[in-house]
Structure 1
Amino acid sequence: MRFTRLLSTIDAHAAGEPLRIITAGAPPLPGATILNRRRYLAAHHDHLRRLLLFEPRGHADMYGAILTPPVSPEADYGVIFLTNEGYSTMCGHGVVALTTVLLETGMLPRREPITTVTYDSPAGLIRARATVEGDQVSGVAFQNVPAFRYASKVAIEVSAGPVEVDIAYGGAFYALVEAAALGVDVQPGQVPLLTKLGMEVKRAVEARLEVCHPLEPELAGIYGTIISAPPQSEHADGRNITIYAEGAVDRSPCGTGTSAKLANFYAVGKIGLDQTYVHESVIGTTFTGRVLAETTVGELPAVVTEISGRGFITGFHQFVVAADDPTGDGFLVR
């Protein structure tokens, strides 16, 4: 056997959406901010993302994370999130799964009943609170970066016809559209059509207007499309599927997407302060969100949201790359 690389990971999921955390084999990332480190990673070590997320080690919908030392005094870790397209600005399911992994494996000490873990993310500081019962994390709630409505009733044209979408930010920018307006339902059997329409919406919005965070130019562009429908569970308030990055399908209700949806609701009075919203995914799993407070981002009214869910460890892996492997850094087949 002759290997050119050895990478260790811990795999987990939150509400069904996977997270592959690189624990060994990644190089140090220079930079005074997480955005700087993300930029360096993309420019010099993007092969790591492709190796671990693409086939034959991953798949088109795999998601990843690389931990770094913190850049702010209050943070425990910095984190960079990886997608099939590149590098996201924040990830809610990732925070839930990552916090679970750090505490259940002892990478950070557990304290009952609540342990706080703080992250430097590309979008800003994220504070997570884990409910700890012995050696188990039974739930994670995190306070997200401020979320806001960016635009409303943006008229676009897709293959289903003309539709109007709202644009909201919850750590990343999303186009929000009703499934009924697209003539579809949020069901696992319709995922190929939902993926196609979600990407059409994303591209149509990006062609229609420039989307950029008012305080950080690097936080720009539509990350995903949230297609919403009435809930199926009597315990949920809404159902959605999020199509993000390059046609990836979120199995979870999408944490940052839930924040964006809450901000959009709050802007038009559909939800109030401290009112819970149970968000159901395409596979029936849930996150719970609520609006904690009002704030501003630049001149835009915004809200501070909290998203809660549960994560589970699914595996401990050592991945190798054979020197003569013809698949190289990986590939994707859809």
Structure 2
Amino acid sequence: MDVMDEVSRLNKSAITCVETHTVGMPCRIIIKGYPSVCGSLASQRDQASEKYDYIRKRVILEPRGHSDMFGAILRPDTEFTESGEAHMGLLYIHSRGYSKMCGHATLAVSRFLVDAHDPDVFPKRHLVKFDPVKQESKLVLHTLGGLVEATVPTTPDGRRSDPSRPVSFVALPAYAMATDLEVSIPPECRWPELGSRASVSVSIAYCSAFSCQTQLGDLGFPADALHGSVGFEKLRHAVAQLKMALGGSEYQRFLKCPTTGAVGSIFGVMIGVKGLGNQAEGSKGVETGLYIFADGVIDRSPTGSVAAARNAIAFAKGDLDIGESWTYHCLVSNAYGKKQGFDAKVLRSEGRKELTRGGFAAGPVVVEVQGNAYYTGYHTFVVEEDDPLGDGGFSLELLSSR
């Protein structure tokens, strides 16, 4: 039997993906085979979650993916692509569900869209604006968090992206909600490394989602905790306990969405080490960090939206000003000694205000984030009828005995 003939026979269930990574964090871009969903982007997300969540699980979870996999579903027809305000809609997916926005995925998808000349994949490719002088193309993406403008460096004719130069995007507005906040850790939430301390210093920001920022030492961990699976598991535990502590009623005032007023929760925690990593030329400083989001997912990249959130905190504290940038590394870029972290620059703000313990202030800050994304492959996933694991997927960490 020819294996390719057998795969072709199964093509009716095929999901076609382009594989990418941004500083080590994967983004699996679904370009063909996703069922038809219609209406607003929010409605499409609801339909995806209610009717087709098995496809998210199929392409993200094992045996085709893993618990830290990330992806994006191209949605060419949304209310903003139809009005001409956006070129493409996106649904971001991960092992636990759907995200409003994702920076590393935005960088990867933007580069792919410049290279995509198939009208069935990208119907509005011909509307992408190309600057022959700067040799770059600009496109607008419709995300659940809002419209995001991306700039992709290109070849002289504008038909292909130029991987030697970083892609950039203007992040959604970022708000500093609290800086240097002492969070009380109840006895039942404390982790061993915290020792005798009963509180942790954190900052909280909002950029499409709430993030908590702290330093590795503030959590009670030594520098070598950022290396190896044992350290990761301990950090996952500490983050889960910290998020539980931040769920207390006394912290809800810091978790009110600045645009809607709705009370949210911490989506992820950025654990940083100041001064660690290669500093990009022209950047004011550098930091290496590990971001743990959702239910323990570890981001391999420096994170795009959280880079904007970190800039919002730095701006609120007076560490950054308009036009100044900061270099953010992840463990991957720092370990390989490359300058391929993310660079985040404050473009503009409504003004710096005094932050008090009782509320948020500085913002919104508009930040440009740039980084490099690369292709790693091309997949067509199929499902055999007799495969008990084929229709969806599983996570080894979440398996339960029956």
State if a TM-score over 0.5 links the two structures: yes
Q: Is the 8 A contact 1:81 1:88 kept in 2?
A: yes
* Residues 141-190 of structure 1, C-alpha deviations (whole Å, 9 max, x = no match): 10111100123415142312521322101222101111111122362323
Name the SS of the counterpart of 2:47 in structure 1.
Answer: helix
Superposed counterparts of 1:30-45, under 5 Å: 30-32=38-40, 34-45=41-52
Q: Distance in 1 between matches of 2:364 and 2:259?
A: 13
1:148 matched to 2:187: no
Q: Which moved more, 1:196-205 or 1:280-289?
A: 196-205
Superposed counterparts of 1:128-143, under 5 Å: 128-134=150-156, 135-137=160-162, 138-143=165-170
Q: Cα distance 1:116–1:193, how it changes in 2: closer, same or farther (>3 A)?
A: same
Q: Distance in 2 between matches of 1:304 and 1:233?
A: 25
Kindly state the Cα deviation for residue 13 of structure 1 after the two structures are TM-superposed.
0.9
Q: Aligned match of 2:236 in 195, 202, 205?
A: 195
Kindly state the Cα deviation for residue 216 of structure 1 after the two structures are TM-superposed.
3.9
* Residues 197-231 of structure 1, C-alpha deviations (whole Å, 9 max, x = no match): 22222232234544342324789432110111124
Which runs of 5 or more residues in structure 2 are unaligned? 1-5, 281-285, 335-339, 352-359, 398-402
Q: Aligned match of 2:207 in 167, 170, 173?
A: 170
Q: Is the 8 A contact 2:38 2:78 kept in 1?
A: no
Q: Cα distance 1:117–1:156, how it changes in 2: closer, same or farther (>3 A)?
A: farther
AA at the equivalent of 1:181: D
Q: Is the 8 A contact 2:183 2:245 kept in 1?
A: no
Which runs of 5 or more residues in structure 1 are unaligned? none
Provide the alpha-carbon RMSD of the alignment. Answer: 2.2
Kindly state the Cα deviation for residue 257 of structure 1 after the two structures are TM-superposed.
0.7
Q: Cα distance 1:204–1:323, how it changes in 2: closer, same or farther (>3 A)?
A: farther
Q: Distance in 1 between matches of 2:314 and 2:59?
A: 37
Give the count of matched residue pairs: 331
Q: Distance in 1 between matches of 2:166 and 2:241?
A: 35
1:124 matched to 2:146: yes
For 1:333, the equivalent position in structure 2 comes to 396
Name the SS of the counterpart of 1:136 in structure 2.
Answer: coil
Q: Aligned match of 1:302 in 364, 377, 385?
A: 364
Name the SS of the counterpart of 1:246 in structure 2.
Answer: coil
Q: Which moved more, 1:212-221 or 1:279-288?
A: 212-221
Q: Distance in 2 between matches of 1:295 and 1:41?
A: 36
Q: Is the 8 A contact 2:16 2:30 kept in 1?
A: yes
For 2:23, the equivalent position in structure 1 comes to 15
1:292 matched to 2:341: no
**Quick check: which one's strand share is greater?**
1
Q: Aligned match of 1:263 in 309, 312, 316?
A: 312
Q: Cα distance 1:55–1:121, how it changes in 2: closer, same or farther (>3 A)?
A: same
Q: Is the 8 A contact 1:123 1:219 kept in 2?
A: no
Identity across the alignment (%):
28
AA at the equivalent of 1:130: V
Q: Which moved more, 1:161-170 or 1:218-227?
A: 218-227
Name the TM-score, length of structure 1 as normaliser: 0.92
Q: Distance in 2 between matches of 1:280 and 1:54?
A: 26
Q: Distance in 1 between matches of 2:182 and 2:146?
A: 27
Name the SS of the counterpart of 2:313 in structure 1.
Answer: helix
Q: Aligned match of 2:385 in 320, 323, 326?
A: 323
